[in-house]
Amino acid sequence: AQKITQTQPGMFVQEKEAVTLDCTYDTSDQSYGLFWYKQPSSGEMIFLIYQGSYDEQNATEGRYSLNFQKARKSANLVISASQLGDSAMYFCAMREFTGANNLVFGTGTRLTVIP
Amino acid sequence: KAGVTQTPRYLIKTRGQQVTLSCSPISGHRSVSWYQQTPGQGLQFLFEYFSETQRNKGNFPGRFSGRQFSNSRSEMNVSTLELGDSALYLCASSLGTAEKLFFGSGTQLSVL
């Protein structure tokens, strides 16, 4: 069964610094996708970045990059130059494309950016 | 391009009532899935629809049901509401069944 583990319940980062949010996953599927979402206090789940299991390059989207280490089954999110507006819950999720196909989420990491 | 739209944003019901939540996907997206988010259980998958057919269902009782219309809009229904159904219900859409998912703002349901 697919599983996502986020071991950091909370993280603090100084404004303008970089921060890494950890995510490890478990799957027996060869074809899957890894996602990161941001959820501010308003509740909306905002898509940040996606990495396919067959993508050879690490995904990047602006200040977000995904450090994909397939052999270690990790998909850490790196946020560069943190901003106050980055304070939110961050969820790592996985979708097995040949299995159940639904998103399975981790428990999330609450990031607080300090001025 | 408009995002995923969920209505209503907030809903208050009493035990035993039923409720219908609505989701309009991003234009052109044919897959719609629903998730329940609670502080205790986190984010859990409810069901997924593609081209009006339910493709996948999570581990929820039969009181939770859904449907998808020909224009890809989707509704989910919860009958005989229980206190434990209080949650944020999130709808997500994607182009196909193996694509990125984009979420709406959710419907916050409170059952009193």
Q: What percent of chain B has pLDDT over 90?
A: 88
Q: How confident is the model at residue B101 (pLDDT cuts 50, 70, 90)?
A: confident
Q: Does the beta-carbon distance from A50 to B33 stay under 8 Å?
A: no
- By Cβ distance, the residue of A46, A102, A107 closest to B58 is A102
- By Cβ distance, the residue of A45, A95, A107 closest to B42 is A107
Mean pLDDT of A5-15: 97
Residues A26 and A6: their CA atoms lie apart, in Å, by 12
Residues A95 and B76: their CA atoms lie apart, in Å, by 22
Q: How confident is the model at residue B93 (pLDDT cuts 50, 70, 90)?
A: very high
pLDDT at A99 over 70: no
For residue B58, give every residue at least 6 positions away whose Cβ sits within 8 Å of its Cβ, in sequence order, or none.
A102, B44, B45, B46, B47
Q: What is the pLDDT of residue A100?
A: 67
Q: What is the 3-state secondary structure (H, E, C) of chain A?
A: CCEEECCCCEEEEECCCCEEECCEEECCCCCEEEEEEEECCCCCCEEEEEEECCCCCCCEECCEEEEEECCCCEEEEEECCCCHHHCEEEEEEEEECCCCCCEEECCCEEEEEEC
pLDDT at B98 over 90: no
Q: Does the beta-carbon distance from A102 to B48 stay under 8 Å?
A: yes
Nearest CA in chain A to B89: A43
Q: Does the beta-carbon distance from B98 to A95 stay under 8 Å?
A: yes
Q: What is the pLDDT of residue B16?
A: 97
Q: What percent of chain B has pLDDT over 70?
A: 97
B98 touches chain A (CB under 8 A): yes
Residues B99 and A50: their CA atoms lie apart, in Å, by 10
B85 touches chain A (CB under 8 A): no
User: DSSP letter at B85?
Assistant: G
In this structure, how many other beta carbons lie within 10 angstroms of the beta carbon of residue B76? 23
Nearest CA in chain B to A4: B43
A26-73 pLDDT, tens per residue? 998 898 999 999 999 988 899 999 999 999 899 999 999 999 999 999
CA distance B16 to chain A (A): 26
Mean pLDDT of A3-11: 96
Helix-then-strand count for chain B, H and E: 0, 11
Q: What is the pLDDT of residue A101?
A: 74
- By Cβ distance, the residue of B55, B101, B105 closest to A103 is B101
B108 touches chain A (CB under 8 A): yes
Question: Strand B87-94 to strand B74-78: parallel, antiparallel, or no bridges (unpaired)?
Answer: unpaired
- By Cβ distance, the residue of A47, A95, A107 closest to B102 is A47
B28-78 pLDDT, tens per residue? 999 999 999 999 999 999 999 999 999 989 999 999 999 999 999 999 999
pLDDT at A98 over 90: no
